Structure 1
Amino acid sequence: MQLEDYFEFLDPDDIRIKGHRIGIDNVIDYYLQGCSPEEILEHFPSLNLEKINATITYYQQNKEEVDAYMKRLNDWREERYQASLKNPSPLMQRLRAIQKQRAKEQVNI
């Protein structure tokens, strides 16, 4: 089995571990934080050590490419977060209104 056979390359910014909805970025984030494969497995019990080690090996063999991939993902997530702050969903608007009301009620107590 080739290393790439462990992954699904859905598009240039979406690489997942085959058979899972877990992206390689999730495993690599923990790896870059200093977690061992066994510790990563504790966070993702549906994986196995073989898939975790394959992900780490893929990262080590394609570091520049994967680092660029990770940066694009982080930039995209930050853009979405900032957009959600500027234009919150109706649910978020309702939750914020409830929070304000509760805070106002506690001040009046």
Structure 2
Amino acid sequence: MAVVPVLNKQYVEQYEGSYRIVGSRISLDSVVYQFLIGTPPEEIVENFPLLTIEQVYGAIAFYLGNREAIDSYLKEGEAEFEEVRQSFRKKNPLLYQKLVESQAKRQSEI
């Protein structure tokens, strides 16, 4: 029996308003941000061992083929995160300050 290749394989799906790698709960954002800072696909697989090299390359190809839309989607997500961060900062200033100090301490230890 001959093996028939899949001619139209999807690597990214939209789920509840976000993009995910098909067959996983890993967001496209996670792979794209790694790609944008120059992380090689093989290292992305090491960082996300549930993904295969094929899935990572497929996600990168999806991003490159839809760059304008995905960049817009990422900017929207960053804006939403910033709103939540500012809201948290206003509601819990002491806890927020402790988190900032803790993060600064960890950075200085590295």
TM-score band w.r.t. shorter chain: 0.7 to 0.9
The structure, 1 or 2, with the larger RCO (C-alpha pairs under 8 Å, 6+ apart) is 1
Going by fraction, where is helix more abundant, 1 or 2?
1
**Alignment RMSD:** 2.5
Question: Aligned to 1:45, which of 37, 46, 49?
Answer: 49
Equivalent positions of 1:39-78 (< 5 A) are 39-78=43-82
Q: Residue 96 of structure 1: CA displacement?
A: 7.6
Structure 1 alignment gaps of length 5 or more: 98-109
2:18 and 2:96 mapped to 1: Cα distance?
Answer: 31
Match of 1:60, as an amino acid?
L
| Largest Rg, 1 or 2 | 1
Instruction: Tell me the number of residue pairs that the alignment of Structure 1 and Structure 2 aligns.
Output: 93
Structure 2 alignment gaps of length 5 or more: 1-5, 99-110
Question: Aligned to 2:84, which of 80, 84, 97?
Answer: 80
Name the residue aligned to 1:24: 28
Match of 2:13, as an amino acid?
E
Pick closer, same or farther for the CA change 1:65–1:33 going to 2, 3 Å.
same
Name the residue aligned to 2:12: 7
Report percent identity of matched pairs.
Answer: 33
Q: Residue 8 of structure 1: CA displacement?
A: 2.5
Pick closer, same or farther for the CA change 1:40–1:3 going to 2, 3 Å.
farther
TM score, norm. by length of structure 2: 0.72
Pick closer, same or farther for the CA change 1:79–1:3 going to 2, 3 Å.
farther
Check conservation: 1:3, 1:58, Cα contact below 8 A: no
Pick closer, same or farther for the CA change 1:67–1:37 going to 2, 3 Å.
same
Deviating above 4 A after TM superposition, structure 1's stretches of 4 or more consecutive aligned residues are 1-4, 92-97
TM score, norm. by length of structure 1: 0.73
Pick closer, same or farther for the CA change 1:61–1:44 going to 2, 3 Å.
same
